[in-house]
Copies of this chain bind each other. A is one copy, B any other.
């Protein structure tokens, strides 16, 4: 197998975000759990919530797609696999990710359902409450995997959210086998506490079977995975089973446990959290870019913290500032 030519190849939902300002009263009225991601299963549900929301801006999103966008912005080489429909929002998604230099060749899917969208309600405290209509994204078939693309990435990065629908779950399973066969590393993000609730058994099995090398989680997710309220208990249990566990802790920064050794990074100071959307995704971008370029775990954590801080300083889940310059400044 030749040496990898890409730093990271990711498989994730191909989503266009619709970001609108909102308030706690609206979330309560609609019965939405603040800060969480819920799935909207029909286009009628999605239309009904959209009709009640305020005016929005549209921006390409998707958790793992945001991560590869961040890696590209850092000067890394990345690829992406995800399913859009053959419609206007699908064209927007494709334009944005390829304009960043990310390799993306998954063909658009004809007919219904349309390209996935995530209705994101941002409250004045910067918290985002996400309502995802998976649309075409849930129909990524294993047959759409570009084997050569997966083999070309030093790290295969998988999005836990995509474990919900059946076809992409099978595709990710197949992708792990392809990557493993090529001697690549597998990184996985648990994505969301409720998502972990839905798939705890599968996620634990992936870890127990040694199929994950780098696991990303936040506090909620790692506790949910281990069904405990005690953070340290959860971290100890999972880190014992994995080469590398990374846990993001919002304003408390992040930690990594690498082969039993613990590292920590504080959150980067910022003026104000405008929109927390993409914080975890961009942390993963910085960390993975660091790992792919053989930086230390400590430096990789610092790169993650810098990228997360940038993305929460403005609306939208993809970087606007020059991440390379910010990282160079932070690492000195």
A-B contact pairs, 21 of them (CB 8 A): A20-B99, A51-B95, A53-B99, A54-B99, A55-B60, A55-B95, A55-B96, A55-B97, A55-B99, A55-B318, A56-B92, A56-B96, A57-B57, A57-B58, A57-B59, A57-B316, A58-B58, A58-B59, A58-B92, A88-B88, A88-B114
How many angstroms from the CA of A112 to the CA of B261 in the assembled complex? 61
Per-position 1/0 for A64-79, Cβ under 8 A of B: 0000010000000000
Per-position 1/0 for A95-126, Cβ under 8 A of B: 11101100000000000001000000000000
How many angstroms from the CA of A51 to the CA of B95 in the assembled complex? 7
Let me know if A38 is at the binding interface, CB within 8 A: no
The residues of B that contact A58 with a CB separation of less than 8 Å are: 57-59, 92
The residues of B that contact A60 with a CB separation of less than 8 Å are: 55
How many angstroms from the CA of A29 to the CA of B53 in the assembled complex? 40
Nearest-neighbor residue (CB-CB) of A52 within chain B: B99
CB of A59 to closest CB in B, whole Å: 4
Let me know if A308 is at the binding interface, CB within 8 A: no
Chain A binding surface, main DSSP class? mixed
CB of A162 to closest CB in B, whole Å: 22
Let me know if A244 is at the binding interface, CB within 8 A: no
Let me know if A87 is at the binding interface, CB within 8 A: yes
Nearest-neighbor residue (CB-CB) of A59 within chain B: B57
Let me know if A89 is at the binding interface, CB within 8 A: yes
The one of B56, B57, B59, B88 in contact with A87, judged by C-beta atoms closer than 8 angstroms, is: B88
Let me know if A21 is at the binding interface, CB within 8 A: yes
CB of A124 to closest CB in B, whole Å: 11
The 4 closest A-B pairs by CB, nearest first: A55-B96, A58-B58, A88-B88, A57-B59
In the complex, the answer to whether A21 meets B320 with C-beta atoms within 8 Å is yes
Nearest-neighbor residue (CB-CB) of A56 within chain B: B96
Nearest-neighbor residue (CB-CB) of A117 within chain B: B88
The residues of B that contact A56 with a CB separation of less than 8 Å are: 92, 95-96
The residues of B that contact A318 with a CB separation of less than 8 Å are: 55
In the complex, the answer to whether A95 meets B57 with C-beta atoms within 8 Å is no
CB of A165 to closest CB in B, whole Å: 22
The one of B50, B59, B95, B97 in contact with A95, judged by C-beta atoms closer than 8 angstroms, is: B50
A21, A50, A55, A58 pick with most chain B CB within 10 angstroms? A55
How many angstroms from the CA of A318 to the CA of B19 in the assembled complex? 14
How many angstroms from the CA of A96 to the CA of B96 in the assembled complex? 22
Nearest-neighbor residue (CB-CB) of A53 within chain B: B99
How many angstroms from the CA of A60 to the CA of B20 in the assembled complex? 12
The residues of B that contact A96 with a CB separation of less than 8 Å are: 55-56
Interfacial residues of chain A within 22-76, with CB under 8 A of chain B in the complex = 50-51, 53-60, 69
The residues of B that contact A59 with a CB separation of less than 8 Å are: 57-58
CB of A166 to closest CB in B, whole Å: 26
